[in-house]
Amino acid sequence: MPKADLEYEAKRSLNRIRPKIIQRIGETCEADRGALLLETIEARLEEHWLRLFGLLYQLYGHHYDFFYYLENILLTTVECWLNRPEALLESDVRRENNPEWYLSEEMIGGSLYVDLFSDDLKTLRTKLPYFKRLGLTYIHLMPLFASRVGNSDGGYAISDYRAVDSKFGTFEDLLILADAFREAGIVLVLDFVFNHTSDDHEWAIRAQEGSREYMDYYHIYADRQIPDQYEQQLREIFPTTRRGNFTWHEGMKRWVWTTFNSFQWDLKYANPEVFRAMAAEMLFLANSGVDILRLDAVAFIWKQVGTSCENLPEAHLLIQAFNALCRIAAPGLIFKSEAIVHPDEVVRYISREECQISYNPTLMALLWESIATRETKLLKQSLSHRHELDGGTAWINYLRCHDDIGWSFDNDDAWVVGIHPGDHRDFLNRFYTGRFEGTFASGVPFQHNEETGDMRISGTMASLAGLEQGQEKDDAGLIEMAVLRIRMLYGILSSIGGIPLIFLGEEWGLLNDYSYESIPDKADDSRWVHRPRMNWDNLKRLQGKGTVSRRINDIISELFSVRKNLTALGGGEMELLPLENSHLLSFVRRNNENVLIVLANFSERELEVDLFLLRAEGYGHFLKDVLSGEIYSTKEKIRLKPYALLWLEED
Ligand code: GLC
Ligand code: GLC
């Protein structure tokens, strides 16, 4: 539709829906407050309606009953907003006035499984002082909604988005926790698992009962004809669990699209009813007090025959439409993208209008790549043109999360620096699974596909960084190197631009936990090796003076606390420095007038670096490392210790 017509139709539709909005507001409150609410919603619609209309029109305009859905979606949105608790309305206003709140240098994240960390939500609340001590201001709770019995993919197979799994507590417990977080200045992050539901979600059950309406919520086929057509271009995400992307359902005698596990049914967003229904679930979640929604598996939400069914343009339109709904009903809420795909695609999900923040899987993979090779050329090549993001957005920088590591760097970036990408991935897989002579890492293969040779890696941060091997061999030298490696890596996460995120347990250097191998629902998913239980009694021993765990904890806490006081580390602007050394990463961070230079040695050898180049770049005569207090002159060559990390300010 031409732009002028679109504007005209958007306005016309809104005029038709408006009386119902006014009526709903009138029903909920007194006239005075009603006038205020109307003013607020009118202002938000003025700003976002045209965009929302355009997105929905592109996605669903060809449906004969488009207006029905349009009205329904907007009224659902308004309804959710009217139900929004007072404290969240206030926080919305504060954030509308400070829309880039999440770019602050004070943001530091942690993620955890409620049951593994603290058993349940009530006990989790008692851990607030723990988070504060560590410096965390952002906590991502892994899925805690009602999920299927048995294997639920760690809660990613959701049976009810409005109920908390009873093993964690009740929905009321979640609300109380959210309030406590808000008071403590901690941002709450929850998943919006919207690519699929569990096979025992009410919609899936209705489909299994033969309801045509609900069968249309999913991709369900009577025979292999269409699945086979799709299959020609599809990847397999969990090939050791099940081949192909479809699961035969004996009850329905039909094939169901299941990108991940067989019990995770992909939703069919081509059906506007699915968008409407999931929008209602999302806004319900928004009202629970969540600040950031982690959009799970964003790449897979739209399917089109003849394509890989990943990262399709419609996937972006859908997320933008969800984003627009939040701007209207819950403007304090932002999205975090989980797109673990090619770096060119990862960045396409990131914008103010789509996902404001995103996992940085490329940096994650390349940090592991660089410490394996002790070379930073691929990392620098990638950072040189991939780190910069649009205004109002940020990377989430992490080393490990609950998932595996995939070597998702760009092949051309590798070729440019003389690396054969295929061979290199093979080397990295061998390095991180103990099949490379001299490796320090103790990792486990994940989803090894015998046919293609593809593999991903599981393992905790500390085990991959060499601590497990060092402790096994009781070798003080290896342990020392592991600790220094860890310090250097967190130093980069905390300073390179964006929000650092740890997976809780890392702060004590927890090692791989191989006990999952004997648990039937977990045994064939090696990701459980890096999801150890936080054993608080055991921790008391680990925390003792002089232990390695204590040291790691002190190191990480110190980096976080220093970060919070360095204004230069807010935002995301980063520029690589031309200091030439193949084992060195050096960059400068700038935020307004504030400047910080970061140097990191990626090898266990000493390095010589000539700082005179910095003088040539216009930096002062003396630089002070804010971490050690040491002063360096830019007139000379300096020696960087193994895995040295310097955060330099002009003195
Ligand atoms: C996401 C989650 C992962 C899960 C998958 C399916 O990628 O991070 O743990 O297996 O989605 O929900
Ligand atoms: C794939 C998916 C990602 C998911 C992961 C789980 O990499 O792209 O979304 O987290 O598999 O292993």
Give the 3-state DSSP-derived string for 224-235, with helices as H, strands as E and coil as C. Answer: CHHHHHHHCCCC
Q: Which atom of ligand 1 lies nearest, measured to the CA of 340? A: 7
Give the residue, out of 113, 201, 245, 403, with the most ligand 1 atoms within 8 A of its beta carbon, to mutate for a pocket test: 403
Residue 483, H or E segment: helix 476-493
- pLDDT band for position 540 (50/70/90)? confident
Radius of gyration in angstroms for the set of CA atoms belonging to the chain, rounded to a whole number: 25
The strand pair at 158-164 and 145-147 is best described as antiparallel
Residue span of the structural domain in which 605 resides: 574-650
> Does the C-beta of 394 come closer than 6 Å to ligand 2?
no
List residues bridging with 350 in a β-sheet. 355
Model confidence at 556: pLDDT above 90: yes
- pLDDT band for position 124 (50/70/90)? very high
Residue 624 within any structural domain of the chain = yes
Residue 583 within any structural domain of the chain = yes
Residue 31 within any structural domain of the chain = yes
CATH of the domain at 637: 2.60.40.1180
Question: How many angstroms is it from 281 CA to the middle of ligand 1?
Answer: 19
Q: Which atom of ligand 2 lies nearest, measured to the CA of 298? A: 9
pLDDT at 64: 97
Q: How far are the Cα atoms of 160, 163, 296, 555 from residue 201, in angstroms, in the given order?
A: 6, 12, 17, 44
* Helix axis angle, 31-60 to 272-286, nearest 10°: 140
> Does the C-beta of 339 come closer than 6 Å to ligand 2?
no
Model confidence at 533: pLDDT above 90: yes
Whether residue 584 contacts residue 601, with contact meaning beta carbons closer than 8 Å, is answered with: yes
pLDDT at 546: 87
Examine the fold and report which residue of 52, 69, 97 is the final residue of a domain before the chain moves on. 97
pLDDT at 503: 98
Q: Which atom of ligand 2 lies nearest, measured to the CA of 310? A: 8
> Does the C-beta of 297 come closer than 6 Å to ligand 1?
yes
- pLDDT band for position 457 (50/70/90)? very high
Question: How many angstroms is it from 47 CA to the middle of ligand 2?
Answer: 35
Structure tokens that stand for 586 in this block: 């050096």
Q: Which atom of ligand 2 lies nearest, measured to the CA of 297? A: 9
Give dist(CA 284, CA 160) in Å, integer.
12
Give dist(CA 396, CA 109) in Å, integer.
9
- pLDDT band for position 415 (50/70/90)? very high
Model confidence at 126: pLDDT above 80: yes
Give the residue, out of 156, 193, 294, 340, with the most ligand 2 atoms within 8 A of its beta carbon, to mutate for a pocket test: 340
> Does the C-beta of 301 come closer than 6 Å to ligand 1?
no
Give all strands (DSSP E) within 514-593, no chain letters: 574-576, 584-591
CATH of the domain at 209: 3.90.400.10
Question: How many angstroms is it from 238 CA to the middle of ligand 2?
Answer: 9
Question: How many angstroms is it from 240 CA to the middle of ligand 2?
Answer: 14
The neighbour count for residue 375, using CB atoms within 10 Å, is 18
CA angle at 110 for the pair 153 and 287, rounded to the nearest 5°: 75
The neighbour count for residue 408, using CB atoms within 10 Å, is 19
Q: Could you say which ligand is closest to the alpha carbon of residue 154?
A: 1
pLDDT at 240: 87
Q: How far are the Cα atoms of 165, 436, 441 from residue 470, in angstroms, in the given order?
A: 39, 16, 10
Cα 267–chain centre separation: 21
| 178-207 residue pLDDT tens | 999 999 999 999 999 999 999 999 999 999
| 559-613 residue pLDDT tens | 999 999 999 999 999 999 999 899 999 999 999 899 999 999 999 999 999 999 8
Give dist(CA 497, CA 572) in Å, integer.
4
| 51-100 residue pLDDT tens | 999 999 999 999 999 999 999 999 999 999 999 999 999 999 999 999 99
Give dist(CA 74, CA 140) in Å, integer.
29
Would you say how long the chain is, in residues?
Answer: 651
Cα 189–chain centre separation: 10
Residue 106 within any structural domain of the chain = no
List residues bridging with 457 in a β-sheet. 405, 445
Give dist(CA 184, CA 178) in Å, integer.
10
Model confidence at 219: pLDDT above 90: yes
Question: How many angstroms is it from 308 CA to the middle of ligand 2?
Answer: 15
Q: How many domains does the chain have?
A: 3
> Does the C-beta of 173 come closer than 6 Å to ligand 1?
no
pLDDT at 167: 96
Q: Across the chain, what does the average pLDDT equal? A: 96
Give dist(CA 91, CA 287) in Å, integer.
12
Beta-sheet strand order (sheet of 220-221) = 220-221, 254-257, 246-249
Question: How many angstroms is it from 42 CA to the middle of ligand 1?
Answer: 38
Residue 301 within any structural domain of the chain = no
Question: How many angstroms is it from 400 CA to the middle of ligand 2?
Answer: 13
Residue 219 within any structural domain of the chain = yes
Give dist(CA 465, CA 405) in Å, integer.
13
Q: Could you say which ligand is closest to the alpha carbon of residue 192?
A: 1
> Among 549, 525, 529, which Cα is nearest to 538's?
549
The residue annotated as part of the active site, out of 338, 468, 507, 625, is 338
pLDDT at 453: 87
Helices (H) and strands (E) in the chain, counts: 24, 25
Residue 601 within any structural domain of the chain = yes
- pLDDT band for position 44 (50/70/90)? very high
Structure tokens that stand for 284 in this block: 């319900």
Which residue's C-alpha comes closest to atom 8 of ligand 1?
403
Q: Could you say which ligand is closest to the alpha carbon of residue 308?
A: 2
CATH of the domain at 68: 1.10.1740
Residue 92 within any structural domain of the chain = yes
pLDDT at 420: 98
> Among 553, 560, 588, which Cα is nearest to 574's?
588
Model confidence at 542: pLDDT above 80: no
Examine the fold and report which residue of 97, 128, 152 is the final residue of a domain before the chain moves on. 97
Give dist(CA 354, CA 334) in Å, integer.
9
| 390-413 residue pLDDT tens | 999 999 999 999 999 999 999 999
Place of tokens 């670096």: 609
Query: For this structure, is 338 an active site residue?
Result: yes
Q: Which amino acid would we find at residue 363?
A: L
Q: Which atom of ligand 2 lies nearest, measured to the CA of 404? A: 12
Give dist(CA 552, CA 543) in Å, integer.
10
Half-sphere exposure of 566 (CA within 13 A, CB side): 27
pLDDT at 589: 97
> Among 564, 558, 621, 566, which Cα is nearest to 598's?
566
Query: For this structure, is 119 an active site residue?
Result: no
What letter does residue 355 receive in the DSSP assignment? B
Examine the fold and report which residue of 266, 283, 305 is the final residue of a domain before the chain moves on. 266
| 496-530 residue pLDDT tens | 999 999 999 999 999 999 999 999 999 999 999 99
